[in-house]
Structure 1
Amino acid sequence: MKRLALPDISFNDMLLKCSEGMEQVNVRNNFISLFLTFYAKEQQYQALSLAGNLYAYPKVNPLTNTTPVVGHMTKRKLVNLYENNLRDKDKPARDYYDTLLVSSGERCPFCGDIGQTKNLDHFLPKAHFPEFSVMPLNLVPSCRDCNMGEKGQDYATLEDDQAIHPYVDKDLFYQEQWVFAEYLNEDDGALRYFVQCPVTWRVEDINRAKNHFKSLSLANRYRLEAGKHLSEVIDQKNAFKKMIFKFNPNATSAQIKDAFVEANLQPIIDSDQFDNHWKKVMYQCLANSLPFFER
């Protein structure tokens, strides 16, 4: 949903910092001897993800805790590299964990800024792809709803099922609008969010956007987020209307609408928030909704 800048921490930096936390010299040296293998896997990961084909990354199969995955390093050792080294508050690498966690401004990129980051999500789950357990490109700051709930330990085996990668993915997901909203003139008012991709998109990319939106329950989560804010906008609109009539009793409904949009809604619509941000989409919707201005 929201693009993040590539991590400032390189894979080389991360591996070196993890090696500093290894007390046994032979263990550390054996680990360092595998760095080139780690780098090659990172390059393959990045190339596939940029093309929207990360689903095609070859998974080690069968995979058990004792299966060698990177050289002599087994799945168990690679998972422990994250759990007992990178996450360990007493290890040097913990500083990198904390840096990555706040790198998105403490807002979750998967759901488009509505959740506060609480964990690092393994985009390719470490249970299935332990070779990327500490690779910064695979560690995405995430809220609990996205990391522990909707996204979880799933991974795509088909192109259409891939979640949108916040670091490396096709530009179209970030540079074009595909999330829209409709104002529902009922009770106190509400918004319905939905996906409408550009007609020029490939079917596979359209399905990816729809599946990302659906799997993270974004229609409902955005609706709830907008609901918290909508009453304030309605109050602003009503107060604005009274003020206009006070100074110009002959003002038409169209004039009031245009003035309110220009003064209150357009600044958010024109802001540097990403195109599919729930609030930007909300204001865009309200600016074009006659029922909203008629209530």
Structure 2
Amino acid sequence: MIELPMPRFGVSEIVAACTLDPETNPFAGATDALLEVEATYAELASDGRIFEFQSDQPGVSTDVADNVSWAYDIRLSSKKGPGRAYYDEMRLQAPGGNCSNCMARDAAALDHYLPKIDFPVVAIQPTNLLPICTACNGVKLRQSATAATEQFLHPFFDRLGPERWMHVTVLEEPSSPTVFEVRRASNWDETLHQRVQSHFRRFELGILLSQKAGTLLGNHRLAFESFFTDTPGGDGPAAVQREAARLAMSYAGEPQSAWAAAAFEAWSNSTWFCNGGWRMENDRPLASAMAHRLSSSASAAE
């Protein structure tokens, strides 16, 4: 999960943007009540109790709640809606425009943390709208929690801390495939630990991140081969280790790339990897690519 700063605007700004005619928009006169709802939501989410939030909220009639839901569809998410600029800003608020759930794919839409169909009262509330990819959205759908441990991670309110919680094991097989797992951070209580593990399983992040890591390594394999073969004095493995460690540090600077940083750190710590483990089985494609690179360099030097 990517932790996000709180949105720079609240529900009152969204109401104002989505209201064309206050006399024909019942929710326009309920701004104060929706602000109270927003505060209640924030209090529960900050305390890890968002599962206690009720769809029926004081001061918000069923008619108003239905109109809030309508405003999301017609006024906020519609490409021609008056509030579309707010929608686009929220969709792109995660670093790199990535999905806040999986960290690895592009956020194509906004997801209602509390599903719109069951909680229409918060359908346009910015803190309930999260940037999400199509795949994660398809997994989550209208699911919501009924207990603390069932709660999805919430990027606006859950803080996992600076300690690396993604543990990566490097398999000593061709191309050094990786296994991603959750490792409990020292600042987590048991409830948060269960929530992170559940989040990891629900969205199949172990499989996804392993696949992404494989693609990432493929983009660097030729460079590793160069470090390995071109470093004099038999220092190739150490050169590969230094480069993998450098890449781990570089990727660690971006929150959406935490998984990549974890992968490169694991590869840098693997003696087997640094001695050529990045290669594919019967690595003819790599050998051919290296031969082409070396011949091109020789031609340029002549």
1:259 alignment partner in structure 2: 239
Deviation at 1:90, TM superposition (A): 2.9
Report whether the alignment pairs 1:155 with 2:144. yes
CA distance in 1, matches of 2:19, 2:256: 41
1:69-89 CA-to-partner distances (Å, cap 9, x unmatched) read 823525533321211221233
Deviation at 1:267, TM superposition (A): 4.1
CA distance in 2, matches of 1:72, 1:56: 19
Amino acid at match of 2:18: C
2:199 alignment partner in structure 1: 212
User: Which of 31, 36, 40 does residue 32 from structure 2 map onto?
Assistant: 36
2:23 alignment partner in structure 1: 26
Preserved CA contact (<8 Å) 1:177 1:276: no
Report whether the alignment pairs 1:103 with 2:99. no
Alignment of 1:1-295 (within 5 A): 1-20=1-20, 22=21, 25-28=22-25, 30-60=26-56, 70-71=60-61, 73-104=63-94, 105-112=96-103, 114-147=104-137, 149-169=138-158, 171=159, 173-245=160-232, 248-249=233-234, 251=235, 256-270=236-250, 271-274=252-255, 277-294=258-275, 295=277
Q: Which fold has the larger relative contact order, with Cα–Cα distance below 8 Å and residues 6 or more apart in sequence?
A: 1
Does the residue aligned with 1:175 lie in a helix, a strand or coil? coil
Amino acid at match of 2:259: W
Amino acid at match of 1:11: V
Change in 2 beyond 3 A, CA 1:34/1:75: closer
1:64 alignment partner in structure 2: none
Preserved CA contact (<8 Å) 2:244 2:265: no
CA distance in 1, matches of 2:240, 2:197: 33
Q: Percent identity?
A: 23
Change in 2 beyond 3 A, CA 1:153/1:86: same
Preserved CA contact (<8 Å) 1:192 1:223: yes
Deviation at 1:163, TM superposition (A): 1.2
Listed as ranges, the gaps of 5+ residues in structure 1 are: 62-67
Deviation at 1:283, TM superposition (A): 0.6
1:74-131 CA-to-partner distances (Å, cap 9, x unmatched) read 553332121122123333112211222222232111101x111111100111111111
Preserved CA contact (<8 Å) 2:165 2:185: yes
1:176-195 CA-to-partner distances (Å, cap 9, x unmatched) read 22111111112333111111
CA distance in 2, matches of 1:168, 1:101: 17
Query: Which one has the bigger helix percentage?
Result: 2
Does the residue aligned with 1:73 lie in a helix, a strand or coil? helix
CA distance in 2, matches of 1:196, 1:289: 19
Select between 266-275 and 119-128 the one with higher mean Cα deviation: 266-275
Preserved CA contact (<8 Å) 1:150 1:217: no
Does the residue aligned with 2:255 lie in a helix, a strand or coil? coil
Select between 266-275 and 99-108 the one with higher mean Cα deviation: 266-275
Does the residue aligned with 1:70 lie in a helix, a strand or coil? coil
Preserved CA contact (<8 Å) 1:176 1:275: no
Deviation at 1:31, TM superposition (A): 2.7
Deviation at 1:40, TM superposition (A): 0.6
Normalising by structure 1, we get a TM-score of 0.85
Normalising by structure 2, we get a TM-score of 0.83
Deviation at 1:264, TM superposition (A): 4.2
1:12-66 CA-to-partner distances (Å, cap 9, x unmatched) read 111111112x4xx5223x43321111001101111111122111212449xxxxx
Preserved CA contact (<8 Å) 1:178 1:276: no
Change in 2 beyond 3 A, CA 1:52/1:71: same
CA distance in 1, matches of 2:171, 2:244: 20
Change in 2 beyond 3 A, CA 1:18/1:82: same
Preserved CA contact (<8 Å) 1:175 1:275: no
Amino acid at match of 1:268: A
When the two chains are superposed, the root-mean-square deviation of aligned CA atoms in Å is 2.3
CA distance in 2, matches of 1:128, 1:135: 14
Listed as ranges, the gaps of 5+ residues in structure 2 are: 278-302
Does the residue aligned with 1:165 lie in a helix, a strand or coil? coil
Select between 263-272 and 151-160 the one with higher mean Cα deviation: 263-272
CA distance in 1, matches of 2:146, 2:89: 31
